[in-house]
Structures are given as structure tokens and as C-alpha cells.
């Protein structure tokens, strides 16, 4: 099977590509290697992938129709799509809104069009986000809940991706599955996310910024568990036999809502250094608590996360120290 993975040099795309290559798939990786965060980290991930047989890379912007048509032409055997390329980050969407519509809406549409033009497409899997739940207060968040009150443009673009995918499943009978990821962390993680920001500040002797005065909870999900879910989902496209569009959306989280201060405690413990805290109010666009109801993905593809933060955080810190040679 040939799988087109977009955002392959990104955090989740890199781990997903590694897993697919390990089981003998051909992976066509696409990434623009943009400078939202240090492209050196993206290149370092990419170097690992390029070392492995079965991996082909195209540096391209998924919103560039002509470039993506070239990628499709070069690889007529693609049967699966995993669209992970996106402008991520809730807070940045207040500063650079157009980057979000460009990659997450226009780019997502270009990817759906590629799948539509491909008779061999078995499944189109894509990243959504827990942020689509907005300010919902009913916990855990369930895929049955209403998600039409986004509180950041990032969330709005991710929800738009779900709606566009549903439309393509309806019109063209393409099986699509959206994955609402819940705060993913682990080795090779993103520099704009909590685990990385905390580790870096603590090691540099700077205070860590803790929003909502530390009164936050997150369903932190270790990247290996996420990848098991992504690949399990890819292998199980929804059957198109009920008359309804073959479109699904799943939560993919750890199903444990952890106190932010407990997560920070594990970072401190793994580094052996006590942090200095700088407490700040809640950030616009942010939510106080996330907690995933994962019963649907458990039932349909046997998803079963196994990594508590007490195991995952030390693994992240071990990678962080090795990567930064500290
Ligand atoms: N990490 C999380 O906790 C989390 C949570 C919810 C949703 N998500 C979603 O999961 C997906 C992967 O996230 P990640 O954490 O790996 O982020 P990431 O930023 O590390 O990876 C995204 C990759 O996509 C690339 N990219 C961005 N725009 C592109 C474009 N227009 N064309 C081609 N490449 C482009 C970037 O260069 C980057 O390498 C994203 O869709 C993100 O919104 C992630």
C-alpha cells in the first residue's frame, strides 16, 4: 500500500510515517517545512525518515494545487491519505489568522480533491482537534456533542475540515475519518507546546509561564498511542453500505484528564530541577479543561492507550536532553 502522509516532517506525521514504514508500506511524505517553529527540528525528523527504505519526500505546500497535482501524478498507486499538514496552535491563530485558512481550509480542500480524483483511494484520514469542543462544559467530550461554538479560529478551521470531509464523503462516497487529537506529547514534540516550553525554560533557569494560575486540566496523549490509533483507523475505513455518507469523526485521547500542575511536577522530577512559576490569567481562545470520551474509537478499531503521563513525560525529557545535548 502507498500512503500519502502530509505534514510528514511534523511531530505526529513523522511518528506516523515511521510506523507505516516499519510495517512495510510505501510512504509519500509531503511537507512545506515552513518556519512556524524551527525548521531544523523538521529537517532532523525528515533525515530519519529519508534513511529508511520506502520513504519518498516532496517539499510542497498542500494548498498549492499545481504542486500537489505533480505529487499525485508521480505516485499513481496511492490508496490512503493521512492529512496532518496544518497550521497548528490555538494562540498563534489570534496573530496569524490567514495561515490557518490557507493550510487548514484551502489545503484540506486540495487534499480532498486529490482523493476524489483517485479511483484507488480507500480511505482519507485527517487531523482535527479537541479544540472543536470550544467552551463546552459537559465532560468527557463526546463525538455526539454539539461542536458549533468554536472559541479560536484554529478550532473553526478544524471544524470546517470535518464539515468539508463529510461533504466529500456524501458527494463522492470517499470514506473519510477525522481524528480529534487531545494534547499530544512525546519525543520529537513541538517547541510551541507545554512539555517542550516547560523543559526548555527550566533548563535555561527561566520561569515557566502557567496560564489560568495553574487551574487547568488536559487529556495528555502520548504520541505512540496516537500513532497506534491513526494507523488502526487507516486500516478500517467505514463501510459504505448504510446509505449514510461514509464519514466518521473520532476523539483520540488518553481518557484521563490530568491536572496541569501534576504534568509540570513530572517535568520537574524528570529533569531533577524545581521550576520557578510565573502564573498568568487564562489566554483568549484557550479552554480550561479537556477530557476525551474515546468509546467510539475503542469500539470500532480497538484503540486502547497505554501510556500514563508518569511514563510518557520521562520519555519526552530523555529525548529532549539527547536532542539538545544537555
Ligand atoms: N500535537 C497536538 O497536540 C495536536 C492536537 C490537536 C490537533 N493536532 C493536529 O494534528 C496535526 C499534526 O500536528 P503536529 O503536532 O504534528 O504539528 P506540526 O506543526 O509538528 O506538524 C505539521 C506539519 O505540517 C507542515 N505544514 C503546515 N502547513 C503546511 C502546508 N500548507 N503544506 C504542507 N505542509 C504544511 C508543517 O511544516 C509541519 O511540519 C495538525 O493538523 C494539527 O492541527 C495536533
Distance 273 CA to ligand 1 centre (A): 31
Distance 85 CA to ligand 1 centre (A): 5
User: Which residue's CA is the closest to the ligand 1 atom numbered 1?
Assistant: 184
Distance 193 CA to ligand 1 centre (A): 12
Distance 7 CA to ligand 1 centre (A): 6
Under the banding of pLDDT at 50, 70 and 90, the label for residue 214 is: very high
Atom of ligand 1 nearest to the CA of 63: 31
Q: Could you tell which of 11, 91, 179, 225 is best to mutate to test the pocket of ligand 1, judged by most ligand atoms within 8 Å of the CB?
A: 11
Asked if residue 307 has pLDDT above 90, the reply is: yes
Asked if residue 93 has pLDDT above 90, the reply is: yes
Atom of ligand 1 nearest to the CA of 126: 41
Q: Is 154 a catalytic residue?
A: yes
Residues having CB within 6 Å of any atom of ligand 1: 6-7, 9-13, 30-34, 42, 61-63, 84-88, 103, 107, 127, 129, 181, 183-184, 190
**What domains can you pick out in the chain, each with its CATH number?**
2-185+222-255+291-306 (3.40.50.720)
> Pick the residue with more confidence: 256 or 1?
256
In three state form, how does the secondary structure of the chain look? CEEEEECCCCHHHHHHHHHHHHCCCEEEEEECCCCCCCHHHHHHHHHHHHCCCCEEEEECCCCCHHHHHHHHHHCCCEEEEEECCCCCCCHHHHCCHHHHHHHHHHHHHHHHHHHHCCCCCCEEEEEEEHHHHCCCCCCCECCCCCCCCCCCHHHHHHHHHHHHHHHHHHHHCCCEEEEEECCEECCCCCCCCHHHHHHHHHHCCCCEEEHHHHCCEECCEEHHHHHHHHHHHHCCCCCCCCCCCCEEEEEECCCCCEEHHHHHHHHHHHHCCCCCEEECCCCCCCCCECCECCHHHHHHHCCCCCCCHHHHHHHHHHHHHHHCCC
Task: Identify the pLDDT of residue 205.
Answer: 97
Helix axes 260-271, 194-203, angle to 10 degrees: 40
Average pLDDT across the chain, whole number: 97
Task: Identify the pLDDT of residue 64.
Answer: 99
Asked if residue 53 has pLDDT above 90, the reply is: yes
Distance 45 CA to ligand 1 centre (A): 13
Distance 139 CA to ligand 1 centre (A): 26
Which of 36, 81, 154, 291 is the catalytic position? 154
Task: Identify the pLDDT of residue 14.
Answer: 99
User: Which residue's CA is the closest to the ligand 1 atom numbered 44?
Assistant: 181
Atom of ligand 1 nearest to the CA of 62: 32
Q: How large is the average pLDDT for residues 285-294?
A: 95
Task: Identify the pLDDT of residue 1.
Answer: 83
User: Which residue's CA is the closest to the ligand 1 atom numbered 26?
Assistant: 85
Q: Could you tell which of 9, 19, 85 is best to mutate to test the pocket of ligand 1, judged by most ligand atoms within 8 Å of the CB?
A: 85
Task: Identify the pLDDT of residue 135.
Answer: 87
Q: How large is the average pLDDT for residues 74-79?
A: 98
Under the banding of pLDDT at 50, 70 and 90, the label for residue 68 is: very high
Atom of ligand 1 nearest to the CA of 154: 43
Task: Identify the pLDDT of residue 155.
Answer: 97
Amino acid at each position: 500500500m502507498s500512503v500519502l502522509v502530509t505534514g510528514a516532517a511534523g511531530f505526529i506525521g513523522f511518528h506516523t510515517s515511521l510506523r507505516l514504514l516499519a510495517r512495510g508500506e510505501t510512504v509519500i511524505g509531503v511537507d512545506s517545512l515552513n518556519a512556524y517553529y524551527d525548521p531544523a527540528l523538521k529537517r532532523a525528523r525528515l533525515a530519519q525518515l529519508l534513511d529508511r527504505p520506502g520513504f519518498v519526500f516532496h517539499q510542497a505546500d498542500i494548498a498549492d494545487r499545481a504542486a500537489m497535482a505533480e505529487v499525485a501524478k508521480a505516485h499513481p498507486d496511492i490508496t490512503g491519505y493521512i492529512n496532518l499538514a496544518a497550521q497548528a496552535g490555538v494562540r498563534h491563530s489570534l496573530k496569524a489568522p490567514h495561515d490557518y485558512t490557507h493550510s487548514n481550509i484551502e489545503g484540506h480542500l486540495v487534499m480532498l480533491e486529490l482523493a476524489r480524483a483517485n479511483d484507488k483511494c480507500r480511505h482519507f484520514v485527517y487531523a482535527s482537534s479537541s479544540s472543536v469542543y470550544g467552551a463546552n462544559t459537559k465532560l468527557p467530550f463526546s463525538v455526539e456533542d454539539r461542536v458549533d461554538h468554536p472559541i479560536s479560529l484554529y478550532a473553526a478551521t478544524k471544524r470546517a475540515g470535518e464539515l468539508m470531509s463529510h461533504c466529500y464523503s456524501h458527494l463522492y462516497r470517499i470514506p473519510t475519518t477525522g481524528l480529534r487529537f487531545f494534547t499530544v506529547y512525546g519525543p520529537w514534540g513541538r517547541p510551541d507546546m507545554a512539555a517542550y516550553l516547560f523543559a526548555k525554560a527550566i533548563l535555561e533557569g527561566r520561569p515557566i509561564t502557567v496560564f489560568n494560575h495553574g487551574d487547568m486540566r488536559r487529556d495528555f496523549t502520548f504520541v505512540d498511542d496516537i500513532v497506534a490509533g491513526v494507523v488502526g483507523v487507516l486500516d478500517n475505513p467505514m463501510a459504505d453500505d448504510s446509505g449514510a455518507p461514509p464519514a466518521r469523526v473520532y476523539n483520540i485521547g488518553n481518557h484521563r484528564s490530568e491536572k496541569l500542575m501534576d504534568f509540570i511536577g513530572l517535568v520537574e522530577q524528570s529533569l531533577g530541577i524545581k521550576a520557578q512559576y510565573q502564573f498568568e490569567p487564562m489566554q483568549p481562545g484557550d479552554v480550561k479543561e479537556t477530557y476525551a470520551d474515546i468509546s467510539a474509537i475503542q469500539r470500532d478499531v480497538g484503540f486502547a492507550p497505554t501510556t500514563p503521563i508518569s511514563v510518557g513525560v520521562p520519555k519526552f525529557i530523555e529525548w529532549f536532553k539527547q536532542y539538545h545535548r544537555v
